[in-house]
Structure 1
Amino acid sequence: MTTALQHHIDADDLPGAIAAATEAVRRGPTDKAARYRLAELFCANGELERADAQLSILLNQAPELQRRISLTRHLIRAEAARQDWYRAGRPPDLLREPSDAIRLHLEAGVKWREGDKAGAASLYAQAETARAPKVGKGFDDFRDLDDATGGLLELLTMDGRYLWVDLAHVAGLDFVPARQLLDLIWREVRLTLDDGTTGTLYMPAIYAAIAPDTPAFRLGRATDWQEQAGLVLGKGQRCFLLGDQAKPVLDLTSLHFTPTGG
């Protein structure tokens, strides 16, 4: 990455970074690294179609990068499905039959989009009241600080699906250290379920219910909280309640939970 481009990113100047990356591709249209960087920046800026277009060109230029490009394009597809839930009500995929918590969240999401915010808030409150604390070593609870997610995990799969997983079914989360720009928006994590099933997935690091409207929020450099109809909703980097502390998702490393026997 060039010094100028890194300077723009460090300064939370996404438009400047995109302009610099676009110029780099214009000057060197066969520069594979430059084109991939531009695709990453489009992803961070929420311009998923433009990112996918750059990756399509890159795949033709560099078929040897097919595996990396395919993964990124599948994550773009999964993120688009996630946006469809928040904007149009397209439901997420599930790994199991929907739990009571997931049913309540699905119903609440429908009511919220219909404008019945009080009805949605009531359903979210029911889900939180019914939720058992998620206990682990050194902490007595773990949940998303955003009430619209609460006791659920949003996850993206390597084959392009958007998932919800009830935290009640999770035995462990092992996060992979961030290595590239995309890791700031889609955090790689090894998920272990209570039946021993494991898999590598990606956790969206940026909240979607309230769209990030500045580069700092889009890059996960900031989090803001808004109260609507008695609910606390996040904008920017996702944060969890770990015991009595707020923990940004980009700071998480490894979490292992105490079996409930349920």
Structure 2
Amino acid sequence: MRDADQLVKSGDLDGARRALVETVRSSPGDASARMFLFQVLALAGEWDKARIQLDALAKISPEAQMLSVVYGQAIAAERERADVIAGRTLAAQHVASDWMQGVIEALQHFGQGRVAEGEAARDVAFDAAPDTAGTLDGAAFDWIADADGRFGPCFEAIIGGRYGLQAFDQIERIVSEGPLDLRDVIWYPVQITFRTGQSVAALLPARYPGTETEGDSAERLGRSTSWRDGAAGSVGSGQHLWSLSNGAEHGLLSLRALVFA
């Protein structure tokens, strides 16, 4: 376990995976090793194998049963997410904004290679999106947007076990204690309060879509972000970055309190 921990810290995810697989084979009842292996597999998007470790963990450690349910749902949500990004299905909205339909349609267009249609739908939606003033960890802004042009004035969220998009303009605040475990750099735990007054626990995909299979180890661990040209323009790999009106960019994993006016 200590070796695997050091390997993860050094960015050697393949080495950590091999070490943990060997530990689980030799000690199948080692709940800590299975928990660690689940997280390392999830970092690489090995969803089926990660789910197997979750199920095994729930059987040998009753106190892990709720965790198995929550992160089993997160794995299912990642499959929904992949379908959305590939254009096979339309993204859901959690608390809806009318202008967001254009963002959702644009994602499907981009996923299916219809670049002109995607750009047109996105431009109309972004023009209609209201500015959302507030503070992010005490820094004031007039508007906030994801640095990746696929998302802009909205963000990805898993709420109630379902993947969807959420517009910033429906949010009153988002708070987090920060990443406390390895799985938190995959699914960032937050509490969201909507303008309706409803407050929910949520997991925010902390890395851009595809990072789990295409990113390097630093990007998979949410330690860096890089950009490549894609159908939707400049597409991110690694940790989500949120841009503020003052030109600053904040990594999602640094968020502790996002409060809107």
Structure 1 length-normalised TM: 0.91
State which drifts further: 239-248 or 82-91: 82-91
**Displacement after TM superposition at 1:156 (Å):** 0.8
Q: Cα offset for 1:114?
A: 2.6
**In 2, Cα distance between equivalents of 1:146 and 1:95:** 20
Counterpart of 2:255 in structure 1: which amino acid?
L
Indicate which of 110, 129, 136 corresponds to 2:134: 136
Partner SS state of residue 172, structure 1: strand
Asked whether the 8 Å contact 2:173–2:194 carries over to 1, the reply is yes
Q: Which amino acid aligns with 1:145?
A: A
> What pairs with 1:14-53 in structure 2 (closer than 5 Å)?
14-53=13-52
* Larger displacement relative to structure 2 (147-156 or 2-11): 2-11
How far apart are residue 231 of structure 1 and its match?
2.4
Give the gaps of 5 or more residues in structure 1: none
Q: Deviations over 1:71-114 (max 9, x none)?
A: 121111112211121125222332345522x2101221222123
Change (3 A) 1:230 1:111: closer
Give the equivalent residue in structure 1 for 2:102: 104
Instruction: Give unpaired runs (5+ residues) of structure 2.
Output: none
TM value normalised by structure 2:
0.91
Could you say which residue in structure 2 is the equivalent of 1:148? 150
What RMSD in Å do the two structures reach over aligned CA positions? 1.8
Q: What do the CA deviations read for 1:12-52 (whole angstroms, capped 9, x no partner)?
A: 11111111111111121100111111111111111011000
Out of 207, 217, 223, the position equivalent to 1:215 is: 217
User: What residue in structure 1 maps to residue 244 of structure 2?
Assistant: 242
Q: Secondary structure at the match of 1:233?
A: strand
**What is the Cα deviation at residue 208 of structure 1?**
0.4
1:233 to 226, 232, 235: 235
Q: What is the rounded CA distance, in whole Å, between the counterparts of 1:231 and 1:64 in structure 2?
A: 45
Distance 1:205 1:234 in 2: 12
Contact 2:86 2:108 in 1 (8 A): no
**Structure 2 partner of 1:256:** 259
- Residue by residue, what CA displacement relative to the aligned partner does 1:121-177 show, whole Å, maximum 9, x if unpaired? 2222222222222111422211111110111121012x4211211111111111222
CA positional deviation for 1:247: 0.5
Q: Return the alpha-carbon distance in structure 1 between the equivalents of residues 231 and 83 of structure 2.
A: 22
Which residue does the alignment assign to 2:115?
Answer: 117
Aligned partners of 2:149 and 2:232 also within 8 Å: no
In structure 2, how many angstroms separate the alpha carbons of the residues matched to 1:20 and 1:57?
18
User: Are residues 209 and 33 of structure 1, via their aligned partners in 2, closer, same or farther at CA, if it must alter by over 3 Å?
Assistant: closer
Q: 1:143 to 1:106 in 2, by over 3 A?
A: same
